[in-house]
């Protein structure tokens, strides 16, 4: 059956298209990334594929309109550390003291990672257009932040989504999801032992709207920039974190109730006060 369908498809393809598919299959069997890079390669021949911009721009900010909202205190910038010092002292830290975080620390961390640092007029025809603390391809801002709170003073344990427009948390579900996160992260204990874990996704459909095949690469880069913000913000706040990329995607998507197609998880960041052993 599949053979027949494929044979039928092949009959309808041009020599050029056949060659492209052949190359793609050869590359994909070696490594999926090679196949993606082949398809996303920007050449004059392929340029048309990269700028579709069909239909209206997807919303720049995800909102859970019916969710209970938790106000965050204003971010506080103690300026204890220079950027130079934060860059040099940054390390991945996987062991945390058994102490709660404060809501002010969470507020500052989320703001510095992916908050709105300026509003401009007129971009993409919008009267008010946000810009973020991280640079973003086409300013399309695919990064979404979720928080799994395990021990944060003044915040019930649960799953939250960060809404940068109002600088609030939207409550998705109450409960302690620390054990579940450890299981999803292939048993990595630090993901659940921290008082809070930030989960970063990219809603890359936003970037795809403008950049087509190139979008996946750009969205990953955006996430990398925001991830470094998070690391450096932790250093500045006297906190520690570790980027965690090893996790079962489908299970994390199920926990966050996202589709794993237009929005995909990219990294988890357990956050806490580093234990003495980690402070050196
Ligand atoms: C994309 C990415 C994925 C990572 N995944 C994990 C992970 O799953 N578990 C973990 O403990 N560390 C993970 N790390 C942290 C690296 O192991 C760490 O950055 C590296 O050992 C260098 O140490 P440093 O960050 O202290 O310089 C990841 C880092 C990056 C950038």
Domains in the chain: boundaries: 49-278
Using alpha carbons, list the distances in angstroms from residue 34 to 22, 29, 37, 50, 215.
13, 9, 5, 18, 16
Best mutation site among 241, 245, 247, 270 for ligand 1, i.e. most ligand atoms within 8 A of its Cβ? 245
**Strand 196-203 to 263-272 pairing:** antiparallel
How confident is the model at residue 197, as a pLDDT?
98
- Return d(Cα 226, Cα 7) in angstroms, integer: 45
Q: Residue with the nearest Cα to atom 22 of ligand 1? A: 92
Q: Which class for 164: exposed (0-12), middle (13-18), buried (19 or more C-beta within 10 A)?
A: buried
Kindly compute the dihedral angle of the four CA atoms of residues 108, 114, 115, 120, in this order, to the nearest 10 degrees.
150
The beta strand positions in the chain, using DSSP E, are 68-71, 116-120, 129-132, 143-149, 158-163, 168-174, 196-203, 240-241, 263-272
Q: Which of 148, 144, 233 is nearest to 193 (CA)?
A: 148
- Return d(Cα 51, Cα 209) in angstroms, integer: 8
Q: Residue with the nearest Cα to atom 9 of ligand 1? A: 244
**Per-residue pLDDT of the chain in tens (280 residues, 90 and over written 9):** 899 999 998 999 999 989 988 999 999 999 999 999 988 888 777 666 656 677 888 899 999 999 999 999 999 998 899 999 999 999 999 999 999 999 999 999 999 999 999 999 999 989 999 999 999 999 999 999 999 999 999 999 999 999 999 999 999 999 999 999 999 999 999 999 999 999 999 999 999 999 988 999 999 999 999 999 999 999 999 999 999 999 999 999 999 999 999 999 999 999 999 997 665 4
Using alpha carbons, list the distances in angstroms from residue 84 to 76, 89, 169.
20, 9, 31
Both tokens assigned to 147: 């928080």
In short, whether 237's Cβ falls inside 6 Å of ligand 1 is no
Distance 231 CA to ligand 1 centre (A): 11
Is the backbone of residue 158 left (phi > 0), alpha (psi -120 to 50) or beta? left
Best mutation site among 244, 249, 268 for ligand 1, i.e. most ligand atoms within 8 A of its Cβ? 244
How confident is the model at residue 43, as a pLDDT?
75
Both tokens assigned to 210: 């403008």
Q: Which of 155, 183, 190, 182 is nearest to 169 (CA)?
A: 155
Instruction: Please name the residue that has the structure tokens 């204003």.
Output: 74
How confident is the model at residue 280, as a pLDDT?
44
Q: Residue with the nearest Cα to atom 6 of ligand 1? A: 244
How confident is the model at residue 276, as a pLDDT?
77
How confident is the model at residue 44, as a pLDDT?
74
- Return d(Cα 91, Cα 50) in angstroms, integer: 37
In short, whether 91's Cβ falls inside 6 Å of ligand 1 is yes
In CATH terms, the fold of domain 49-278 is NADH Oxidase (3.40.109)
Both tokens assigned to 106: 């969470």
Both tokens assigned to 250: 């489908």
Both tokens assigned to 17: 């298209």
Both tokens assigned to 238: 């006297």
């Amino acid at each position: 059956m599949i053979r027949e369908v494929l044979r039928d498809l092949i009959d309808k393809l041009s020599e050029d298209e056949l060659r492209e598919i052949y190359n793609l299959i050869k590359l994909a069997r070696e490594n999926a990334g090679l196949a993606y890079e082949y398809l996303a390669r920007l050449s004059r021949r392929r340029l048309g594929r990269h700028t579709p911009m069909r239909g209206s721009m997807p919303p720049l900010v995800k909102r859970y309109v019916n969710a209970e909202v938790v106000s965050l205190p204003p971010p506080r910038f103690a300026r204890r550390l220079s950027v130079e010092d934060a860059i040099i002292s940054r390390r991945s830290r996987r062991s945390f003291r058994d102490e709660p975080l404060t809501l002010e620390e969470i507020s500052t961390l989320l703001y510095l990672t992916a908050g709105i640092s300026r509003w401009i007029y007129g971009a993409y025809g919008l009267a008010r257009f946000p810009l973020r603390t991280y640079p973003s391809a086409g300013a399309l801002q695919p990064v979404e932040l979720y928080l799994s709170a395990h021990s944060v003073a003044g915040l019930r344990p649960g799953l939250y989504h960060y809404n940068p427009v109002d600088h609030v948390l939207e409550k998705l579900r109450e409960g302690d999801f620390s054990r579940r996160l450890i299981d999803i992260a292939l048993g990595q204990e630090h993901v659940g032992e921290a008082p809070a874990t930030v989960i970063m996704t990219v809603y890359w459909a936003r970037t795809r709207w403008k950049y087509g095949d190139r979008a996946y690469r750009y969205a990953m880069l955006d996430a990398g920039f925001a991830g470094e913000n998070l690391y450096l913000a932790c250093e500045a706040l006297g906190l520690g974190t570790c980027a965690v990329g090893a996790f079962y995607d489908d299970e994390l998507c199920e926990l966050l109730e996202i589709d794993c197609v237009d929005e995909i998880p990219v990294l988890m960041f357990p956050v806490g006060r580093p234990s003495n052993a980690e402070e050196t």
